[in-house]
Amino acid sequence: MSNARATHLTRRGILAAGGALGLGAVLAACGDDDASKNGGSDAAKAAESGPWTFKDDRGTTVKLDKAPANIVAFTGVAAALFDYGIEVKGVFGPTTTKDGKADVQAGDMDVSKLTVLGNEWGQFNIEKYAGLAPDVLISTMFDAAGTLWYVPEESKDKILKLAPSVGLSVFDVQMPQPLQRMLALAESLGADVKSAKIVEAKKKFETAAERLRKAAKARPEIKVLAGSASQDIFYVSGSNLSIDLEYFKALGVNIVEPSAKALKASGGWFENLSWENVDKYPADVIIMDDRTSTIQPADITEATWKKLPAVKAGQVIARTPEPILSYDKCTPILDKLAEAIENAKKVA
């Protein structure tokens, strides 16, 4: 995308295209079968138990006569609920790739069985949504205003009239907080959060967090840069606002910070660099946006990229700017970064 085109995107559009956090590049724009069955059973019991209420991160309390059975959610939210045994009727957001396979944000869900209301930014089939007779719509929020992620601004009024909505904040908080909120939501929907599987998953997350803390403490000299690639621009994310980077920093990871002036221009998320200036910030490890809306490291052909010390040293790993908010899915994120720091050569 050209710089000219990028300037015409709203801030929300920039985030959606992949700009938030370095949520990535401004481009054209989960559990086993037994767990799923058990979760469905638990959800059915919850539905029979009487009224359902949940206070979301906007301060809005949703009240229903019974636990919602027809849930429609942003894909990443649906994937997290799936890990807790709660299945949804429909999804919106990146769900399938061009070849029909599951998008990285779909987690372990069988995408062939999902009703997809929109697979890209700005897409949301309202008629299909109404046909699902939704009890509740659930999404994340990337701003303080409570904007529901991937619910199109131009049609949100029509959409939100059809069912109450729940918003979970992933803005300017550290990863554990939205993880806890997602778990609370899943519990309200019928998930057995005291099951051995979920208790063990949370324990593994805490172990991974401690591993990353120790790795960062042992190797404070290792600089970690969070990047995202588009055709014309390389985005460098700051450590504020993003749930993963804020948490990494709190654990002691030495995150490369873009200039304050550049961050201000993007609302605090990232600095955009031309490929000629991709070497502006020295780094020992580069963590790259893994979403399908961005160019992946193996497909970057720019000579300036290939000359970066971290790239030449093979010290580039994936970053998940929009993690699936289950302990099972977030644990590998911490472990992979810890391993990269533990094994990194000082090249910057």
Residue 50 pLDDT: 79
Mean pLDDT of 32-52: 51
In this predicted structure, the answer to whether residue 94 has a pLDDT above a threshold of 80 is yes
Apex CA 10: angle with CA 7 and CA 13, to 5°?
105
Residue 9 pLDDT: 39
- Who has greater pLDDT, 27 or 140? 140
Predicted confidence (pLDDT) per residue in 281-333, tens digit: 999 999 999 999 999 999 999 999 999 999 999 999 999 999 999 999 999 99
pLDDT band at 137 (very low <50, low <70, confident <90, very high): very high
In this predicted structure, the answer to whether residue 164 has a pLDDT above a threshold of 90 is yes
Strand residues in the chain grouped as ranges (E): 52-55, 61-64, 71-74, 90-92, 115-118, 136-141, 165-169, 223-229, 233-237, 254-255, 270-274, 285-289, 316-319
pTM: 0.88
- Residues with Cβ within 8 Å of 26's Cβ and at least 6 positions away in sequence, in order, are 1, 6, 9, 14, 17, 18, 19, 230, 233, 235, 272
- Who has greater pLDDT, 251 or 34? 251
Mean pLDDT of 180-185: 98
